[in-house]
Amino acid sequence: MRIAIRNGRVIDPASGRDEPADLAIAGDRIVAIGEKAAGFEAERTIEATGLVVAPGLVDLAARLREPGQEHEGMLESELAAAAAGGVTSLVCLPDTDPVLDEPGLVEMLKFRARKLSRCRVFPLGALTRRLEGQALTEMLELTEAGCVGFSQVDVPVTDTLVLQRALQYASTHGYAVWLRPQDAWLGKGVAASGAVATRLGLSGVPVAAETIALHTLFELVRATGARLHLCRLSSAAGVALLRQAKAEGLPVTADVSINSLHLTDVDIGYFNADMRLTPPLRQGADRAALQAALADGTIDALVSDHNPVAEDQKNLPFGEAEPGATGLELLLPLALRWGADRGLSLGRSLARVTCEPVRVLGDVLGSLASSAGRLVEGGVADICLFDPQAEWRVTPEALSSQGKHTPFAFGSTGMGLRGRVRTTLVAGTIAFDRRP
Amino acid sequence: MLNRRNPQLNQHGELIHLLSIEGLPRAVLTQILDTAGTFLSVNEREVKKVPLLRGKSVFNLFFENSTRTRTTFEIAAKRLSADVLNLDIARSSTAKGESLLDTISNLSAMHADMFVVRHGESGAPHLIAQHCAPHVHVVNAGDGRHAHPTQGLLDMYTIRHYKRDFSQLSVAVVGDIVHSRVARSDIHGLTILGVPDIRAVGPKTLVPGDLAQMGVRVCHDMAEGIRDADVIIMLRLQNERMSGAMLPSAGEFFKSYGLTPEKLALAKPDAIVMHPGPINRGVEIDSAVADGRQSVILPQVTFGIAVRMAVMSTIAGNQA
């Protein structure tokens, strides 16, 4: 289909373009931006006055809960949530049931996602079989099946010899390893160590759980040369170590979740299980360091850490509740809120959820690497149109995801957020359209 | 960000549940202690009953076993003329896979008026209070490491009984504080009632430095911790902590932190010794101290009934 988007404010964070312009799409490509789009004959015209026309968002961490956990979320509902959130590419995690450790499972997931054509799905494969931290997976086969990297999600490899070998092997083939820095033993608590956990009598996760793991990982990266992506940093001390590692020139990148970026352990209040998250929410100084690191580029990308959790898994005492929160539909407004709080331009705020995560993924995206997360003539037409002024409240009814639990929906009214997606295009096809 | 109103108070600031001592106004605490004083005499009468909860059903929900605490709540409720049902949930419905809130819904359908809840997870009584019908009251009888507010209140009652004024006291809490809901409730109670000097005493594995964030002075040395104290609260050391990574042995703990007559001599001459029970003789406390003239461990038990009567009658009289 030939689509014209007229009179929008076109923002391409990668090039710095931010101006009123028209945009012409034919097939799955953007064919013209600005004056060249003037005479374009469209079958459908989208009137975008007052809207921002931005690249579709790229989310480096979303659980779709398939296969195996369909009661928590399903491909259909969660990819609909992605589209409703303006997310056109997402990286999904391998801690499904069964674990994504076999090429057949990855191919099936990619196939089913492609059929829904709501969002591009890039799975991470398991780094070790069944995530058990013992035997390596067939990384070559998994990559051919479509995996973009290898991860242990929330199950640290406790055996450092295995970890070293996994990094050596991945590095042999140039595959990226995605790990959340967490010491297996110190990380066993349910809330961040500190005044809140002490007062509430919740078992704590000290900052050392993150920093010890970071020290270990950086040593192994030095020894193996493996490309490492650090998932969900949570502490100021972790940020400081990452900054040093980057200054040293280690091949590392990192992300932070919308939850750690905006919340602290004080938000746990009276045992609110919606604040039960992994990694746990830390203190104000940690949040400030994460916000600053995302602004100065020490942290490369902002992620939704989307994890739909069913009602019966959340309505439990805090420590027994399943960690996680829905997030795909909150990524855009929470990126904008962070940017607005810091006085950043829209383009700079959007970079952390568009072109920067694409840079983290790198060559593994193949031909997409040069145009996903950007608006370029001849590039893929993955586009998010949003109203930057629209205010909405995070209530269960306002979310497409099957997961209704989010820290941002507390109270009966939900938190007020600014910035709402109007239309999402994936490969030139309308994946989501909200009536104004 | 946003914190909701303290869930145990109604919009008039009256107590409708007792979930934790933390955040309660001093007047609410003082009123419960005063009310408990009036119930003490009831417990000494030949007919030990008052009709304040007549026709009400109190359900004791113990997800964790505790015969002693359950018994004191049962006695307190019966002396208020309530009907009491003891549900030993540790061995019934949760073992069959029923969720906590389903259990609560079922029991609510049996027209319970009050739940007395003991649970192994911190915050479980908050969850129940949030989800039960508005007329149902919840009393926390101990949740995880978080709170044991009736024990805290009876400890405050005991201290007030023997020391009268909180504003000049030095109180030492000794032992496994990090895992102790009693310690947390005591610390909150003491702070609210104006005790200027609260010391948390024990090894770093059981009394980590972050406890200072609760407004106490952390002491790893027993002599320093109890010197010139007016009140010494010894905590029970759980069996599972006596050998392992927390402590090498019960004997070694006793050597450093067990309360012996020699160590007690460091405290003020009229210091009182308290313990929430059941005591481990020769682990945290020497028999000579437990049975000695400064021990008020048995009066604590007596006061405990009156305090629980005061709590139940107070919250039952307030509406959500």
**Which among B2, B4, B146 is the nearest to A200, CB-wise?**
B146
pLDDT tens digits, residue range A410-422?
666 678 899 999 9
pLDDT higher than 60, residue A55:
yes
Is residue A315 a part of any domain in this protein? yes
pLDDT reported for residue B117: 96
Distance, in Å, from the CA atom of B143 to the CA atom of B157, rounded to the nearest integer, reads 21
Task: Identify whether A279 is preceded by a cis peptide bond (ω within 30 of 0).
Answer: yes
Give the chain A residue nearest B143 (alpha carbons): A201
> Nearest CA to A383 among A394, A398, A372?
A372
From chain B, the residues in CB contact with A193 under 8 A are: 210
DSSP B176-217: --TT-HHHHHHHHHHHHTT-SEEEEES-TTTS-GGGGGGT-E
Q: Please give the pLDDT value at position A203.
A: 95
B213 and A199 in contact by Cβ < 8 A?
A: yes
Type and span of the H or E element at A60: strand A57-62
Most A-contacting residue of B2, B128, B146, B241 (CB-CB within 10 A), to test interface? B146
The answer to whether residue A397 sits within a structural domain is no
Subunit contact B147:A410, Cβ cutoff 8 A: no
Smallest Cα–Cα separation from B306: which of B135, B195, B160, B164?
A: B160
CA distances from A2 to A29, A87, A154, A182, A376 (A): 10, 22, 44, 48, 16
Would you tell me how many other CB atoms lie within 10 Å of the CB of residue B145?
25
A432 confidence band (pLDDT: 50, 70, 90): very high
Select from A198, A269, A320 the Cβ nearest to the Cβ of B4. A269
Q: Are A148 and A142 in contact (CB under 8 A)?
A: no
Task: Assess contact for A186 and A206: CB atoms under 8 A.
Answer: yes
Report chain B residues whose CB lies below 8 A from the CB of A316.
Answer: 99-100, 121, 127
A200, A261, A313: best to mutate for the B interface, most B CBs within 10 A: A200
pLDDT at B95: 58
Of B29, B13, B32, B31, nearest to B21 (Cα)?
Answer: B29
Among A195, A199, A263, the residue with its CB nearest the CB of B22 is A199
Residue B212 has pLDDT above 70, yes or no: yes
Tell me if chain A has a CB within 8 Å of the CB of B184.
yes
Residues of B in contact with A311 (CB under 8 A): none
Q: Does residue B146 belong to the interface with chain A, where contact is any CB pair within 8 Å?
A: yes
- Is residue A394 within 8 A of residue A94, CB to CB? The reply is no
* Cα distance between residue A175 and residue A226, in whole Å: 8
- Kindly report, residue by residue over B87-113, the tens digit of the pLDDT: 877 666 555 677 888 888 888 888 899
Residue scoring higher pLDDT (A66 or A16)? A16
Tell me the one-letter amino acid at A21. A
Question: Could you tell me the pLDDT band of residue A73, with boundaries at 50, 70 and 90?
Answer: low
Instruction: Answer yes or no: is pLDDT of A375 > 50.
Output: yes
| Average confidence score pLDDT of chain B | 93
Measured at the CA of A34, the angle between CA A343 and CA A358, to 5 degrees, comes to: 55
Q: Is residue A414 part of a domain?
A: no
Q: Measured between alpha carbons, how far is B319 from A13 in angstroms, rounded to an integer?
A: 56
The answer to whether residue A1 sits within a structural domain is no
Q: Which of A263, A267, A317 shows the shortest C-beta gap to B119?
A: A317
Six token digits for residue A3: 């689509």
B19, B210, B216: which to substitute to probe chain A, counting the most A Cβ within 10 Å? B210
pLDDT score of B1: 39
CATH code of A184's domain: 3.20.20.140
Kindly name the residue from A59, A183, A305, A382 that is annotated as catalytic.
Answer: A305
Which of B228-255 are b and which e, b meaning 16 or more Cβ less than 10 Å from the residue's Cβ? ebbbbbbbbbeeebbeeebbeebeebbe
Instruction: Report chain A residues whose CB lies below 8 A from the CB of B122.
Output: 200-202, 271, 317-319
> Chain A contact for B235, CB < 8 A?
no
- Spatial distance between the Cα atoms of B287 and A304, rounded to a whole number of angstroms: 59
Total structural domains in chain A? 1
Using only the alpha carbons of chain A, give its radius of gyration.
21
Cβ contacts from A onto B, under 8 A: 82
Q: What is the pLDDT of residue B4?
A: 62
For residues B52 and B49, give the distance between their C-alpha atoms in angstroms, rounded to a whole number. 9
Question: Does the pLDDT at position A53 exceed 70?
Answer: yes
- Is B216 within 8 Å of chain A by CB? no
Q: What is the DSSP string of A180-240?
A: ----TTGGGSSEETTHHHHHHTPPEE-THHHHHHHHHHHHHHHHH--EEEE-----HHHHH
**A229 has a pLDDT exceeding 60:** yes
DSSP 8-state assignment for residue B13: S
Amino acid at B224: E
Q: Which residue of A has its CA nearest to B146?
A: A201
DSSP letter at B222? Answer: H
Domain span at residue A148 reads 56-368
> Is residue B284 packed enough to be buried (19+ CB in 10 Å), middle (13-18) or exposed (0-12)?
buried
Judge if the upstream peptide bond of residue A98 is cis by omega within 30 degrees of 0: yes
The pLDDT assigned to B43 comes to 78
Q: Measured between alpha carbons, how far is A130 from A127 in angstroms, rounded to an integer?
A: 9
Which amino acid, one-letter code, is at A389?
Answer: Q
Is B144 touching A (CB cutoff 8 A)?
yes
Instruction: Note the pLDDT tens digit of each residue in B249-286.
Output: 999 999 999 999 999 999 999 999 999 999 999 999 99
Q: Is A127 within the bounds of a domain?
A: yes
Look at residue A273 and tell me if it is in a domain.
Answer: yes
State the nearest Cα–Cα gap between A398 and chain B, in angstroms.
20
List CB contacts of A261: < 8 A, sequence separation 6 or more: A287, A290, A291, A294, A302, A334, A338
C-beta atoms of B214 and A318 within 8 A = no
| CA A195 to centroid of chain Cα atoms | 29
Which residue is closest to A192 within chain B, CA to CA?
B210
- The number of angstroms, rounded, from the C-alpha of B258 to the middle of its chain's C-alpha atoms is 21
Q: Compute the mean pLDDT over every residue in chain A, rounded to the nearest whole number.
A: 96
A95 labelled catalytic: no
Residue A215 lies in a domain: yes
List the structure tokens of B258.
């067990």
**Would you state the pLDDT for residue B92?**
61
* Under 8 Å between Cβ of A179 and A231: yes
CA distance B244 to chain A (A): 15
Closest residue of chain B to A312, computed from CA coordinates: B99
User: Does residue A402 sit within a domain?
Assistant: no
Residues of A with CB under 8 A from a CB of B: 193-195, 198-204, 263, 266-267, 269-271, 273, 312, 315-320, 410-411, 415
Q: Cβ–Cβ of A312/B147 closer than 8 Å?
A: no
Single-letter amino acid code for the residue at A350: L
| Phi/psi at B96 (5° precision) | -90, 5
Question: What's the confidence (pLDDT) of residue B2?
Answer: 43
B1 contacts chain A (CB < 8 A): yes
Which residue has 């009876």 as its token pair? B154
| pLDDT in the model for residue B96 | 63
Phi, psi (rounded to 5 degrees) for B131 = -105, -5
Residue recorded with tokens 């005492």: A317
The answer for residues whose C-beta is within 8 angstroms of residue B92's C-beta and 6 or more apart is none
Would you state the structure tokens that stand for residue B24, as one six-digit string?
Answer: 């309660």
**Could you give the CA distance from residue A167 to residue A184 in angstroms, rounded to a whole number?**
18
**Integer-rounded Cα radius of gyration of chain B:** 19
